[in-house]
Structure 1
Amino acid sequence: MVDSGNTCVLGLDFGSDSVRAVVVRASDGYELASSVAEYPRWAEGRFCNPAHQQYRQHPADYLEALVSAVRGALAKCKDPAPRIAGIGVDTTGSSPLPVAADGTALALKDGFTTDPDAMCILWKDHTAVAEAEEINTLCARGDHEDYIRYVGGIYSSEWYWAKILKIGRANPTVFRAAASWVELCDYIPALLTGVDDASKIVRSRCAAGHKALWHPDWNGLPSREWLTALDPCLGNLATPLYTETRTSDQQAGRLSLEWAGRFGIDAGIPVAVGAFDCHMGAVGAGIEPYTLVRVMGTSTCDILIAPPDEVGGTLVKGICGQVPGSVVPGYIGFEAGQSSFGDAFAWFESILQWGRNGTGQKGSLLPALEAEAKELPPGALGERALDWLNGRRTPDANQKVRAMMSGLHLGSTAPSLYRALVEAAAFGTRAIVERFVDEGIPVKSIAGIGGIARKSDLISQVCADVLNREIDVIESDQACARGAAIFAATAAGVHSDIGAAKSAMLSPVEKTFRPDPQAHAIFDGIYGDYKRLGAFANTL
């Protein structure tokens, strides 16, 4: 092992709007510095069409923001400059992008620089709803391997194969030009380590298992026969795209001279295998068996781990998968979540701000709404909401369903409607917890990470009241990047394994929200309204 006393690692967190870089001391998890850089093209709304649920990101955004964030974080470190021993990477997902034979993102190649279909298809892109339905139909026929049984029995339009199939049908030029398709969490480590052959890109166990239907039971990805049955264009892919996956405590490679020069650090240091932000964030929060860690951002992602011998043959229906080693090696990683969370509140703010001029207005409404909504009782003024503004992720993925509000009247106010959205988000959380418990996987504790968990006491308290459970809020604003740093420290040999690194570097609990029994009793009744509203929405 490397002496961790003065050794630091770099955690990189590629979110929906920006990349965060955090320099973390490996001995105790102390954050020396952090920096955030926005994606410039994304900030302008380029290559997206929200009305058609198209959300694409140009890979050039990643490259430019990455350099800015890393150099910004390193510049904030006091002298002497820290010795960076390794790098860890987490990203959104499923966010696949096509790459050329040399591993370069296709949108960086001549002829494809302005084609949205050649770019990264962000996790919340729902243009492949029909393709996801076809995958579910094929698996339900019974004449092939049931490849979706480890992803909750329902394949989502947010995931790898549905998105690839959509491009294969809509844009054959891009599809033919792509030598392979990689998740963003695999692309960034390959970029940093100088991979120049698409077939040699290391694939993340986390991304492959939860989104690409990889599993040890069938020795890798779905068969060529199954892909061809889904659509002949998929049968023309270089099958299999890959068979081997690695957990994120392992190395994807070593930092290239080119990227070392761009960052201003030593070449040759280990770069850990990438994973999704929520999975690494759960590790940054110190996840233990049967703790549900909720990453509360634009959407939520809920992560739980359990020992394989205790899970046995249990298959939890309607979640986003259960994969060996996807979160922590040696444990089954479970994923669930809500397709819109912070996005719902941002949407409501944008509705209220329509037509306003002046930069001073932006960003000023949510704190005021929260303060007023906090003074309202459970159920506010009788308004009820459904939290499916971007479809439903879990339980039971369905990107065709839509959100609703009911109980509106002339006495309804902006704060009462905001509170209805908060309560709907909490009811969606309860549905997820109940699904785990009903399917035989206990939820023994709950932790929240991310900006919303730390900034919105109202949301955390309403969730505690609705669930009738305590919720611990984790201190760090950079839990996902911290998780990436924990994996970097392990891959670099600074710590012997993830358990040791996690114990030394995890972020502590900042505060705990305890349920109000009276509020919970009221919410129990309102939860019935939420379920009835959801049942009605499913009929439309």
Structure 2
Amino acid sequence: METGYCTVGVDFGTLSGRAVVVRVADGTEIASATHEYRHGVLERTLPDGTPLGDGWALQAPGDWIDVLRTAVPEAVAAAGVPADRIVGIGADFTSCTILPATADGTPLADLLPGRPHAWPKLWKHHAAQRQADRITDLAAERGEKWLSRYGGRISAEWAVAKALQILEEDPALYAAADRWIEAADWIVWQLTGVETRNVATAGYKAIRQDGDYPSRDYLAALHPGFADLTGKLGPQVSALGSRAGSLTARAAAWTGLRAGTAVAVGNIDAHVTAAAADAVAPGRMVAIMGTSTCHVMPSDRLADVPGMCGVVADGIVAGLWGYEAGQSGVGDIFAWFTENCVPAADHAAAAERGLGIHEYLTERAAAQPVGGHGLIALDWNNGNRSILVDHDLSGLLIGQTLATRPEDIYRALIEATAFGARLIVETFDAAGVPVEEFIVAGGLTRNTFLMRTYADILGRPLSVIASGQGPALGSAIHAAVAAGHHPDIPTAAAAMGRRHRDAYRPDPARARAYDDLYRLYRELHDRFADGRLMHRLRDIRVAAARGAGGSGPDRVPPLDPGPIG
């Protein structure tokens, strides 16, 4: 069958990368392929055994290149589309996932594999919280205008905090880094041979507002050696959906595509998903639910939203303000619980029925009435991204008795993440940036009980993206614009993206019952928001690890203080 012109979207996630071949005319997904990262997430040690400290999360650049060498040609081969009919390729990444590199793009991890700070810092690298706090405090003290664009707090997950951590803990390596570049831009550099920066990662993660990064004076006040940071951030930013360059011969050999194929400017996985859901109009909030949840929404209104991750002009689609908020642990919380807290007997019972442990616990949890477990939890097991922006916060569960069962806790954790999402939506509404439609995407949409619970707790319908490959489809949509087959992102999204409107509607009785539980969640949230108790517990834990032979207070092993040759 004639497929017409196609593009390829490549989505680089936390544990794997996936490629999808998409028809430009209508967004039909013809074929896809996935490649699991060989190194996964480096959280305890480097590949050579070098220990990492508390809150570290790194990745290996070679794993990303392997996605181009395996998943892309596999998807293209499965699609059966001639290379001359594939007109563009686009890529998105988790963010802020960022790496130090030389001026020619060589990752320092390739040159200095035994140095922890040489490796790319994944989005959930939270070891820069101290630096993030200082960045926020100094900006508030100096009255920096950009601080309000980030809800009043700068995150440990972002580029400036992570760079400052490198400078303070391994200054020689910081000096050796000619570039401090988002993985989304680095992978486009490898595809095209052209160094670019996209407006989304620059704005949301590197504090670029109104055409400028933080001033040299401000950066020098943080640390005298930090004034040159903006020089490491690279060239002027490029618009989303624009053409970064053309596929090089080397990259064509990796991917099985033609040299000269259009390559779109890089993007963030969550933000590009808005196009896949045809949600690039004001008031359409997309929650991309996976290991974490990122909430993105275009708006024609500019406002200060407490605890948001940022508002950036043209950050999702040209001509509108793009807002971002998020929860730093959702699917990761459920995975942690099932892997560490569920008895072997429940795993065996699930296996006997041919069910996965998540299916088994969901089935048992769904049979309960609202509030039947007598529990309430805070969804801070991986810190809090919005609205508190504190990654040293930790989870909390109260109401346990000797009768509490695993499915009770599992349901309470699901509810906690939904309560966190409701607080984000209410914060936007209260700030004068109304959420008119709530759209869900990501792997967790397959859990119908979870979706129903979110609708009940939010008290509003949920729309669901039609694609199971939202980021990859969104990148393919951007590639279609970069290749000139659609004039702009809204037009391409209308043709190639889609969602199921109001797929889940709240049950009035359950919604009223959840209102009472939500008030308890808010009471707990506000009582522990200052972090005093949780921070103290974390300090005790880190000190205990240090006393037992773990890494020191800077959370990195001793390094050679000399220059890098």
Q: TM-score, normalised by structure 2?
A: 0.88
How far apart are the structure 1 equivalents of 2:433 and 2:275? 19
In structure 2, do the counterparts of structure 1 residues 147 and 128 end up closer, same or farther at CA, with 3 Å as the change threshold?
Answer: same
Q: Indicate the residue corresponding to 1:71 in structure 2.
A: 73
**2:107 corresponds to 1:108:** no
Q: Secondary structure at the match of 1:120?
A: coil
Structure 1 residues 279 and 347: CA distance shift in structure 2, 3 A: same
Matches within 5 A, 1:124-273: 124-142=124-142, 145-195=144-194, 201-216=195-210, 219-237=211-229, 239=231, 241-242=233-234, 244-273=236-265
CA contact (8 A) 1:464 1:515 kept: yes
1:95-140: CA deviations, max 9, x gaps?
110011111211122xx12433111100111000000000011011
Deviations 1:48-103 (A, max 9, x none): 77971110001111111331111121121136567210111110001110011111
Match of 1:22 in 2: 20
Measured against aligned partners, the alpha-carbon deviations of 1:217-254 in whole angstroms (never above 9, x if no partner) come to xx321111111011112124463734621121111111
Q: 1:74 to 1:136 in 2, by over 3 A?
A: same
**Long gaps (5+) in structure 2:** 534-565
Letter of the structure 2 residue corresponding to residue 391 of structure 1: G
Alignment-mate amino acid for residue 188 of structure 2: P
Distance change in 2, residues 1:325/1:79 (3 Å): closer
**How big is the shift at 1:318?**
1.2
Note closer, same or farther for the CA distance 1:444–1:117 as it changes in structure 2 (3 Å cut).
same
Q: Give the direction of change, closer, same or farther, for the CA distance of 1:128–1:79 in structure 2 (3 Å limit).
A: closer
Aligned to 1:87: 89
Q: Which position in structure 2 is the counterpart of 1:283? A: 275
SS of alignment partner, residue 282 of structure 1: helix
2:61 corresponds in structure 1 to: 59
Structure 1 residue matching 2:506: 3-state secondary structure: coil
Match of 2:470 among 472, 479, 483: 479
Instruction: Return the alpha-carbon distance in structure 2 between the equivalents of residues 363 and 386 of structure 1.
Output: 28
The one of 94, 98, 101 equivalent to 1:99 is 101
**Could you list the per-position Cα deviations for residues 397-438 of structure 1 after superposition, in whole angstroms to 9, with x for gaps in the alignment?**
111211100000011111111000011011001000000000
Of the three residues 514, 523, 533, the one matched with 1:532 is 523
Q: Decide whether aligned partners of structure 1 residues 438 and 173 sit closer, same or farther in structure 2, where only a CA change above 3 A counts.
A: same
User: Match of 1:214, as an amino acid?
Assistant: R
Contact 2:377–2:398 (CA<8 Å) still a contact in 1? yes
CA distance in 2: counterparts of 1:147 and 1:243, whole angstroms = 20
Residue matched to 2:32: 34
**Is this contact kept in 2: 1:29–1:504, CA < 8 A?**
yes
**How big is the shift at 1:507?**
3.0
Q: Residue 287 of structure 2 aligns with which residue?
A: 294
Give the letter aligned to residue 327 of structure 1.
I
Are the aligned partners of 1:100 and 1:106 in contact in 2 as well (CA < 8 Å)?
Answer: yes
Q: Displacement, 1:20?
A: 0.7
Question: How much does 1:364 deviate?
Answer: 2.4
- Measure the CA separation in 2 of the matches of 1:349 and 1:66: 32
CA deviation profile, 1:294-349 (whole Å, cap 9, x unmatched): 10010000011012xxx15x222210111011101111100011010000100001
Deviation digits for residues 149-202 of structure 1, max 9, x if unmatched? 21111101011000000011111232121001001111110111023xxxxx21
Indicate if the aligned counterparts of 1:95 and 1:120 stay in contact, CA closer than 8 A. Answer: yes
- After TM superposition, list the pairs within 5 Å mapping 1:434-453 onto structure 2: 434-453=426-445
Q: Mean alpha-carbon deviation: is it higher for 515-524 or for 60-69?
A: 60-69
Tell me which amino acid in the other structure corresponds to 1:387. Answer: D
CA RMSD of aligned residues (A): 2.3
CA distance in structure 2 between the partners assigned to 1:68 and 1:443 by the alignment: 40
Partner Cα distance (1:188, 1:460) in 2: 34
TM-score normalized with structure 1 length: 0.92
Q: Name the residue aligned to 1:198.
A: none
Deviation at 1:472, TM superposition (A): 1.1
Per the TM alignment, residue 214 of structure 1 is displaced from its structure 2 partner at its CA by 0.5
Structure 1: which amino acid aligns with 2:505?
R
- Residue matched to 2:458: 467
Note the alpha carbon deviations across 1:256-280, whole angstroms, 9 max, x for none: 1101011111001111111110000
Q: 1:334 aligns with which of 309, 318, 323?
A: 323
Residue 295 of structure 2: SS of its match in structure 1? strand
Give identity over the alignment, percent. 38
Query: What amino acid is the match of 2:399?
Result: G
Give the superposition deviation at 1:46: 6.6
